[in-house]
Structure 1
Amino acid sequence: MPAPLHGLLTGLALIVAIGSQNVFVLRQGLRREHVLAVVVVCTLSDVVLISAGAGGLGLLVAGAPQLVQVARWAGAAFLVGYALLAARRALRPTGEALEAEGPTGRRSGTTAVALTALALTWLNPHVYLDTVLLLGSVAATHGPDRWQFALGAVVGSALWFSALGFGARALSGPLASPRAWRVLDALVAVTMIVVAVMLVTGG
């Protein structure tokens, strides 16, 4: 299999999974709020991480497990905090939820949204395992073609985040009611808690 195609398929296999980052991208897409900024942040982050893995940084990270532990607990703490905010939104009365949520509701600033996307990406140890270690290891098997593999993985990342963020608009109709947004926020809260537990338990 050509290295770029192998990278594309492997990258998609690792990225297309329910996780804190994907849930956040989906939510921003549904709200139509700073979607381009979120997609760019997530894609560029993967460019850096995948390039680092292809360049051999994965071996260095594997030799410093204490760094992974620090990222694990920091990421779990952030996810729990985000989950509590989502739970608070889900428990609001209908009128307050309508005012704060939905495609026409109150907006967060671009900087705040971008920082949240960065935190959900860089404070998640699974990101390093998937991109730096796993993709880096597979890229190494391609020898001099490892950068073509990395390019394929980056293309897969860009395609996925773009489809998830901008494609979410197709679901904005069914999620137009305050009740639907409260259900969505409840699912976001549960997902974040589950991911946080998995981080600290090594699951």
Structure 2
Amino acid sequence: MTSTFLPVLLGLATGLSLIIAIGSQNAFVLRLGLEGHNRVIVPVVAICAVSDAVLILAGVLGLGVVVAAAPVAIIVIRVLGSAFLIIYGLVAARRAIRPGALVVSGVVATTGMRVAVVSVLALTWLNPHVYLDTVLFLGAVANQQGATERWWWAGGAIAASFVWFSALGFGARLLRPMFAKPASWRVLDAVIAVVMIALGVRLALGH
């Protein structure tokens, strides 16, 4: 039991250490969670967690070698990802600067299902750092474990994604009283704009 529990715990801790940080994906999920529409947040959280699971398992299966051997593909993903992040950041900046773009009939505007799903797919799969963190790094660390332990370790890392994105998406409602006024949303969107544009520029520069 101990030999199984330890790899799971280590995988969980390593996975959390990678995803608990201010980033484009987390900022997007947080905003959707604050909007409070489970119909939208459920598929978004599922996409984030399942995507991580697929990429981590790909790394354990050795596909990290393929990713490392495809620099052109990584460059294309980097260019597309940086463009998307910068555009999304500019949209958030517009919401922060123009309150009228944020409020519809006195109610804070919310993100539709299609926009949310397309956005989170782009934020996830057009980010080359996702491949480096999951397929290469987590996959490599998992494969340093024993033949059986690596799967338990990967399971812990995958569980970290499900736990974190669920907590972020559904736990954001606890912060909702702070966002009762449009001014609070303007501050949030200003922060999101800075994060998205900074990450987009950094990505475009190859960092």
The TM tier, using the shorter chain, reads over 0.9
Establish whether residue 105 from structure 1 lines up as the match of residue 108 from structure 2. Answer: yes
Establish whether residue 37 from structure 1 lines up as the match of residue 48 from structure 2. Answer: no
TM-score by length of structure 2 reads 0.91
Q: Which runs of 5+ in 2 are unaligned?
A: none
TM-score by length of structure 1 reads 0.93
C-alpha separation between the residues in 1 aligned to 2:101 and 2:10? 48
Where 1:174 maps in the other structure, the secondary structure is helix
Q: Which residue, out of 53, 64, 87, partners 2:59?
A: 53
Instruction: Using the TM superposition, give the Cα deviation of residue 3 of structure 1 relative to its aligned residue in structure 2, in angstroms.
Output: 1.5
Q: Which residue, out of 11, 28, 31, partners 1:7?
A: 11
Q: Which runs of 5+ in 1 are unaligned?
A: none
C-alpha separation between the residues in 1 aligned to 2:119 and 2:82? 14
Instruction: Using the TM superposition, give the Cα deviation of residue 66 of structure 1 relative to its aligned residue in structure 2, in angstroms.
Output: 1.2
> Partner residue of 1:77?
83
Q: Match for 1:36: what amino acid?
A: V
> Partner residue of 2:27?
23
Number of paired residues?
200
Q: 1:24 to 1:96 in 2, by over 3 A?
A: closer
Q: Which residue, out of 177, 185, 188, partners 2:181?
A: 177
Instruction: Using the TM superposition, give the Cα deviation of residue 107 of structure 1 relative to its aligned residue in structure 2, in angstroms.
Output: 3.4
Instruction: Using the TM superposition, give the Cα deviation of residue 96 of structure 1 relative to its aligned residue in structure 2, in angstroms.
Output: 4.9
Aligned-CA RMSD value: 1.6
Instruction: Using the TM superposition, give the Cα deviation of residue 201 of structure 1 relative to its aligned residue in structure 2, in angstroms.
Output: 2.1
Tell me if the contact between 2:89 and 2:197 (Cα under 8 Å) persists in the aligned partners.
yes
Where 1:143 maps in the other structure, the secondary structure is coil
C-alpha separation between the residues in 2 aligned to 1:142 and 1:160? 24
Tell me if the contact between 2:102 and 2:109 (Cα under 8 Å) persists in the aligned partners.
no
> Partner residue of 2:194?
190
> Partner residue of 1:165?
169
> Partner residue of 2:134?
131
Q: 1:156 to 1:100 in 2, by over 3 A?
A: farther
